[in-house]
Each structure stands twice: as C-alpha cells, then as structure tokens.
Amino acid sequence: MTTAENSSNAAFAPRVTLPGTRYHRVRKTVQSICVVIFILMPLFDVMRVDLVRQRFYFFGAELWISEFSILFLTMMFLWILVAAMAMIYGRFYCGYLCPQMIFSEAANTIEKRIKRLVNRKLGALGPRTRDALALALLYLILLPASIFFTFVFVSFFIPPADLLHRLLTLDMRTAGGIFGASVTLLTFLDFAFLRQGFCTAICPYGYLQNMLADRHTLQVFFQTDAGSCIHCEKCVRACPMGIDIRKGSHQMECTHCAECVDACSEVLGRLGRQSLIHYAWGDPSQNVAADRAWYRRIGLRDGKRIAVIVLLFIYASGLSIAIHMRQPVLVLIMPDRITLYTRASDGSIHNRFRLQASNRGHAEARVMLSLADLPAANIVGLQDGITLKRGETQQFEFDVAASGAAVSPGVNHLRILAHVDPAQSDEAFAETFIAPMGSASPTLPAVKQTPKEH
Ligand code: SF4
Ligand code: SF4
C-alpha cells in the first residue's frame, strides 16, 4: 500500500471508540502486570524449558522431552496464538506486553529523570560534566537491573536455584555461568544503547506482525481531514518509537501503543475537539452498521480470523485433553527372551521380564505388579513393588513363575497389571508365558535388579 492509499483508507476507517480512555494509563497498568508475570513465570513453572534436565514446564505440568504429542500440541497452540494475536490485534503485544519494550521504555524514563535531576541539582557544573555524570549514574542503575532481568530470563532455561548458586559463586567456568554472563552483557548493552532499535532492526516477531497484518487488523490511524491538525507535534514527542504518525498510518516502526492518541486527545480536547489519531480496525469500508455485530467488534472481521480462532480452540482442547489424560508415572513391561524359560531348583518354571518406570509427577510414587489370567503364576523379584522419587526413572528385572503342572506346555497367555500409588488408572500388559514342551530346561540365573536414574 502507498502512503496515499493508507491515508485515504485511514480517513474512512471506523473508530474503535473507547471514550475518555487514557491509553498510557491502561498500557502502564498492563505492562506492570506483565513484569510481575514475567518474573513469576519461571519461579512457578508456568512456562519454562529446563535445558539441564530436558523438561518443559507448562502451567505446572512437568513434560518430558519424550512426550512428543503434548509438546507438539503446546508448540502449535503457542504458535497459532501468536499468529492470531498479530493478525487480529496487530502489534498489541509490542505496545502492551513485550518485556523488551517495557524495559526499553523504563530505561528511557530513567535516563530522562536522571538528566533532569543532575541539571537541577548540579547546574553550576558545565554541560559536558553534567552529561557524563548523568550517563555514569544511568549505567550504575542499568547494571544491577540487567543482572536481575537476565536472571529472570535465564531462569526460563536453567532452574532458578541452580542459577542463583552460579550467580552467588560468580561462576565463569561452566557453560551455564558463561552463558549467564554473556546474556547479562547483551542485556546491559541493549538497555544502554539499543532499546527500541531492537524492535525495528532485530526482533523477528515485529517483522512477522507486519507480514500478518491486513486491512482488518487493529491499528492506530491518523485521520487526514485537511486543516484539522494544529501542528503542535505533541504526538511526535510522545511517540516512544520516535516517529511521526502524520506521515502515514502504516509505518513499520509503529507499535500501536496509542501514546500519540493520548497526546492528541489532550491537546485537541482543550479545544473541544476529538483526537485526530485513534484505534481502528483498518477496514476502509464505511459499513459502520456491520460493526455493531459483537464478533466484528472484538476483531473477528473475516473468515480467516474466525478460522484461526477455531484452530486455536481445537489445539487448546487437544492440549488440555492430552494433559488431563497424561499419566504421571510411565510404566513399560517387556519380556526378556534371551532365554525362553528357566527351571528353578524347586521345579517351577520362570519367564524373565523387564520393568522400566518413570515418575513424571511431583510426588514420590509406588508401582506394584500383579498377574491376571494365569492363576497358578506369581511374581518373583518385585513382589513388594518399587518406589520412585519425583523425576526418577528405574529399570528392574523380575520373573513370572509357575509350577510345571499348572501351565500348558508351550505358550500361555497372561496379563501383567501395574498399579500406581498415588492412584492413576491401572495398566495391563498382555504377555506370554513359555513353558517347556519336554523335560530339559536351562538352569535359573539370579534375578538382577538394576536401578538406573535419568
Ligand atoms: S505512532 Fe503512535 S501508536 Fe505508533 S508507536 Fe508512535 S506513539 Fe505509538
Ligand atoms: S497532537 Fe494532534 S494536533 Fe498535535 S500535531 Fe499531532 S495530530 Fe496534530
């Protein structure tokens, strides 16, 4: 679209009317909530990838890298959520939720306040000395802030307790320590020099949002009816991205934060007029009557958007069902057919099996085994079950034993049942018990129990 087209579209775009709203106040409230959520998310395992233990935490559920279906559904859900938000609400994420934007704006505000303070208190000094002093003070504040926010950010990938230990011991030898120090340096450079430059030059989500936006996306528009702008330039001074929205409503740098909406409302409000800048769905049609439909007013303005929301709902449902059906303790039983069967000194016949159990839950778990469909058989080696600590995986061998008279020669069918405490649904493994056809049989080696932790 050319700027001229943008401008003419913008002139007809129906306003999203939120009379009396001060977007700055809304934005700062939302941003404060986001900072708290950002800090708490890794601490309470709301969403975190533990690279050390290869776990993915999602709303308290500890998912293992091997749980492909849940991980796939989670990734698809998050990806569609991000795409749907960009398609419907444009750069709302950048303007209201993004930690990079929040901290960049905070760095701008701190810098301005320090300069004002130094100029006021140390007016006797020369301007160069005051500037140098203000800069030194700014860096003194940004350095601990960078360490703190790097700590929160890296906590999304390394357990916070482990990270705190590395920080307190000034670990610069291990990969984790070097990674933390490098991210701290980058964060400091970002806060000190780059700030919003990151959003326009580096951030891939910014590019993606611009690609997904179309004429139905929520955006901030400048209304172009000639002569109404009083050229006070307050909108330009208020813009955190340093752009002039009057030059066109579709500038790539614009994050649709609406600071310019507030600025213009304030200036023109004093003259009894409405702001020339406002949120609109970017729809050039003048079909305002159609906008009365509730679904259009929340942004579902065409089939594409409805389809993406339906898709999001499908993935969210699939994900919640998968998490709900997930068994915290994973049990696998398989036969060890290195020898088909062995005979013990008391004449009973033994078949060997392997048990692998993983505890993916938050509490200690106990696994007990029992047999069904072969009444004369019993378990040897794991009669008392096993106990698994949280996050533990163990492997064991055990035998199923039966007297030769109680089973048929050849193949017998049975089920091995695994009962887990705390309760989850029992699992049944359909297995076979092999008994000798004749009298000769190998002697029985001892049952080995080989616990193995992941
Ligand atoms: S032009 Fe307005 S909406 Fe866009 S970034 Fe600047 S202040 Fe925010
Ligand atoms: S704040 Fe409003 S009136 Fe002032 S320059 Fe910007 S658009 Fe024009």
Residues sharing a CB contact under 8 Å with residue 94, sequence separation 6 or more, in sequence order: 101, 199, 205, 206, 209, 255, 256, 257
Q: How far is it, in rounded angstroms, from Cα 345 to Cα 443? A: 8
Report the 10 Å Cβ neighbour count for 59: 12
User: Whose C-alpha lies nearest to ligand 1, atom 2?
Assistant: 260
For 117-166, write each residue's pLDDT tens digit: 999 999 889 999 999 999 999 999 999 999 999 999 988 888 888 888 88
Is 232 near ligand 2, meaning CB less than 6 Å away?
A: yes
Is 331 near ligand 2, meaning CB less than 6 Å away?
A: no
Is 264 near ligand 1, meaning CB less than 6 Å away?
A: no
- Could you tell me the domains of the chain? 17-217+287-317 (no CATH), 329-435 (2.60.40.10)
User: Whose C-alpha lies nearest to ligand 2, atom 1?
Assistant: 264
CA of 271 relative to ligand 2 center, distance in Å: 12
Is 118 near ligand 2, meaning CB less than 6 Å away?
A: no
Closest CA to 60 of 321, 388, 420, 323: 323
Report pTM.
Answer: 0.70
Closest CA to 391 of 434, 357, 432: 357
Quick one: pLDDT at residue 58? 83
Is 239 near ligand 1, meaning CB less than 6 Å away?
A: yes
- At 261, which amino acid appears? V
- Testing ligand 1's pocket by substitution, the residue of 195, 209, 260, 264 carrying the most ligand atoms inside 8 A of its CB is 260
Return the ligand number nearest the Cα of 278. 1
CA of 98 relative to ligand 1 center, distance in Å: 15
With pLDDT > 90 as the criterion, what percentage of the chain qualifies?
42
* 275 and 261 Cβ atoms separated by less than 8 Å: yes
Return the ligand number nearest the Cα of 264. 2
Is 266 near ligand 2, meaning CB less than 6 Å away?
A: no
Quick one: pLDDT at residue 444? 52
Residues of the chain with pLDDT under 50: 1-13, 17, 284-286, 440, 452-454
Question: Ligand 2, closest atom to CA 246?
Answer: 7
CA of 428 relative to ligand 1 center, distance in Å: 61
User: Whose C-alpha lies nearest to ligand 1, atom 1?
Assistant: 245
User: Whose C-alpha lies nearest to ligand 2, atom 4?
Assistant: 232
Return the residue matching tokens 């950048």: 94
Question: Ligand 1, closest atom to CA 245?
Answer: 1
Question: Ligand 1, closest atom to CA 258?
Answer: 3
Alpha-carbon dihedral 343, 349, 354, 360, rounded to 10 degrees? -140
User: Which one-letter DSSP state was computed for residue 1?
Assistant: -
**Cα angle 7-307-56, degrees, rounded to a multiple of 5:** 105
Quick one: pLDDT at residue 38? 92
CA of 87 relative to ligand 2 center, distance in Å: 28
- DSSP codes joined into one string, 230-264: ----HHHHH-TT---GGG-TT-TT-----HHHHHH
Quick one: pLDDT at residue 445? 55
Helix residue spans in 13-67 (DSSP H): 23-43
Quick one: pLDDT at residue 384? 86
CA of 258 relative to ligand 1 center, distance in Å: 6
Is 276 near ligand 1, meaning CB less than 6 Å away?
A: no
Q: How far is it, in rounded angstroms, from Cα 252 to Cα 272? A: 32
Q: How far is it, in rounded angstroms, from Cα 23 to Cα 259? A: 7
Return the ligand number nearest the Cα of 257. 1
User: Which one-letter DSSP state was computed for residue 95?
Assistant: I
Quick one: pLDDT at residue 434? 93
Q: How far is CA 281 from the centre of its chain?
A: 28
User: Whose C-alpha lies nearest to ligand 1, atom 8?
Assistant: 257
Is 258 near ligand 1, meaning CB less than 6 Å away?
A: yes
